[in-house]
């Protein structure tokens, strides 16, 4: 039977819409829609309705009967075929669940707007772009090259030291840098007064509950997340991200000054070592020079007239020793003066291209991006919920039986997790075997019992609770 004739018969019985036909036949709207798109009604549906054969034409009876074997002998195949969705079926479901989709989109957009504008903590970023020299210009190498011409070995001519700007990325993450910058005071609107950065990042105005070393360790972790060091196109960027715009700018300036101060400190330390080395060499060379001059003086006093070739050679050798020692002595004196000049030199090796500025707005408040993302998430979630709702509202008896079985199995198997002694016994045994690793572990900064930190204490309490519960469930289920 074609669907047009079938629809006329159903109209005569007072059933007009496709949804009413689906409810009357205890089937899905998708199945009825498929009948309409194919303009063909299955033979078993006609037989179930007991439609008088006189209402059908001879051709319709023949065509319908030719398909009776397909629908009566293989009913499951009919059901499978009925579950094939066309594009119109999808649009139909979307149209039916338009309220669910609208609510989903509205909730996602509302949450994204509210979270972005009122809940999400604002963060501000300030940048400072600088240029460092590729090498620190250690003068010890020049001294070693000159002095080696006179047979003097000066170690460490190419030795790397912490004054080299190439170590700045590691220096900014070091504890030495953290200890220095954490002691600096900054004003924040949050606390409405100047506080050390250590207090701002940890306990604020409250009294600290742990020692200073622990505070510095905790603050250093936060500081490493606040200060970022990046390289871009030959320039170096120090990026500071904090919860206030003015604090970000001030912290960027302080970080740059502290890096320069540490660089100068390590540079002066290297220069002082160089000066000490040169002073020792000058003292040693001066003694050798005095000995050479004394030998030359004694030779000339003993030999007023140098006539023989042997005496002439001896005099030339003594003169040569004096000249060599004098040359070394003068070179060391020159290098000593250069080192002293370098020691008092306070010029910065850092060239600042872009100094830090106060951020005009928060970096993480991208309302447009979040709203567009929320729109797509809400649309996808709404369509998914609409299809699920349509599936669970299905009037098909067989599908409803399957759903009841799913709920029954979930309820039964979930209960078995707590009543099966094998599961509780396995969990209890496993937890007991590995308990020494948890209860015997000592934290680096213990707070409880001289062994556990706050986090580890919570973990151990939860661990002990699981052991007790699993042991109780094992004993209870074993008695049954």
Mind listing the pLDDT tens digit for each residue in 264-317? Answer: 888 888 888 888 999 999 999 999 888 888 888 888 888 877 778 888 888 888
| 1, 44, 71, 368 from 66: Cα distances, Å | 11, 12, 10, 60
Mean pLDDT per 10-residue section of the chain, whose length is 480 residues: 79 78 79 79 72 45 44 40 61 83 92 88 90 57 50 50 78 90 92 91 88 90 91 84 92 91 84 88 90 86 80 87 90 88 70 89 87 94 87 69 78 84 90 90 82 89 93 85
Give the model's pLDDT for residue 375.
95
Instruction: Quickly name the fold that domain 124-354 has.
Output: Bacterial polysaccharide co-polymerase-like (3.30.1890)
| b (16+ CB within 10 A) / e for 173-183 | eeeebbebbbe
CA 209 to chain centroid, in Å, comes to 29
- Is this model's pTM higher than 0.75 or not? no
Give the model's pLDDT for residue 181.
93
Q: How far apart are CA 107 and CA 386, in angstroms?
A: 15
Give the model's pLDDT for residue 11.
79
The residue among 172, 89, 84, 158 whose CA lies nearest residue 128 is 172
Give the model's pLDDT for residue 62.
44
| 184, 185, 266, 328, 396 from 156: Cα distances, Å | 35, 39, 15, 19, 87
Give the model's pLDDT for residue 432.
92
Taking only the tens place, the pLDDT of each residue in 336-357 is 888 888 777 655 677 888 899 9
| b (16+ CB within 10 A) / e for 199-220 | bbbbbeeeeeeeeeebbbebbb
SS3 36: helix
> Where along the chain do its domains lie?
3-96, 124-354, 420-479
Give the model's pLDDT for residue 67.
46
Give the model's pLDDT for residue 31.
80
Question: Under a CB-based contact definition with an 8 Å cutoff, are residues 406 and 427 in contact?
Answer: no
SS3 352: strand
Q: What is the DSSP letter of 428?
A: H
């Amino acid at each position: 039977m074609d669907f047009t004739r079938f629809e006329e018969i159903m109209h005569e019985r007072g059933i007009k819409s496709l949804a009413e036909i689906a409810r009357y036949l205890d089937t899905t709207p998708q199945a009825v829609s498929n009948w309409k798109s194919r303009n063909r009604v299955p033979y078993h549906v006609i037989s179930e309705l007991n439609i008088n054969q006189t209402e059908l034409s001879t051709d319709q009876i023949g065509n319908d009967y030719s398909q009776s074997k397909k629908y009566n002998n293989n009913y499951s195949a009919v059901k499978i075929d009925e579950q094939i969705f066309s594009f119109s079926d999808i649009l139909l479901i979307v149209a039916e669940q338009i309220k669910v989709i609208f609510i989903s989109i509205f909730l996602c957009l509302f949450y994204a707007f509210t979270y972005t504008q009122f809940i999400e903590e604002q963060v501000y970023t300030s940048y400072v772009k600088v240029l460092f020299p590729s090498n620190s210009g250690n003068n010890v190498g020049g001294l070693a090259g000159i002095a080696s011409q006179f047979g003097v070995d000066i170690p460490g001519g190419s030795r790397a030291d912490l004054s080299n700007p190439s170590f700045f990325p590691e220096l900014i993450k070091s504890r030495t840098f953290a200890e220095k910058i954490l002691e600096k005071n900054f004003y924040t609107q949050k606390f409405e007064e100047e506080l050390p950065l250590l207090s701002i990042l940890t306990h604020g105005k409250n009294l600290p509950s742990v020692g200073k070393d622990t505070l510095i360790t905790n603050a250093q972790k936060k500081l490493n997340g606040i200060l970022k060091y990046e390289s871009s196109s030959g320039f170096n960027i120090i990026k500071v991200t904090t919860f206030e715009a003015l604090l970000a700018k001030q912290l960027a300036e302080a970080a740059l000054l502290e890096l320069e101060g540490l660089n100068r400190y390590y540079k002066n330390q290297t220069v002082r070592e160089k000066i000490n080395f040169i002073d020792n060499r000058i003292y040693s060379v001066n003694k050798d020079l005095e000995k050479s001059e004394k030998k030359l003086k004694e030779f000339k006093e003993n030999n007023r007239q140098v006539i023989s070739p042997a005496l002439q050679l001896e005099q030339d050798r003594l003169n040569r020793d004096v000249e060599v020692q004098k040359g070394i002595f003068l070179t060391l004196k020159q290098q000593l003066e250069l080192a002293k000049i370098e020691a008092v030199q306070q010029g910065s090796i850092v060239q600042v291209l872009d100094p830090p500025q106060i951020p005009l707005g928060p970096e993480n408040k991208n309302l447009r991006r979040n709203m567009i993302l929320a729109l797509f998430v809400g649309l996808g979630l709404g369509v998914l919920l609409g299809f699920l709702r349509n599936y669970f509202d299905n009037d098909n008896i067989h599908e409803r039986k399957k759903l009841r079985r799913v709920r029954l199995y979930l309820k039964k198997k979930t209960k078995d997790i707590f009543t099966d002694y094998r599961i509780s016994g396995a969990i209890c045994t496993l937890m007991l075997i590995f308990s020494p690793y948890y209860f015997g572990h000592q934290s680096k900064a213990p707070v409880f019992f001289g062994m556990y930190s706050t986090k580890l204490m919570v973990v151990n309490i939860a661990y002990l609770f699981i052991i007790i519960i699993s042991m109780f469930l094992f004993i209870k289920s074993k008695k049954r």
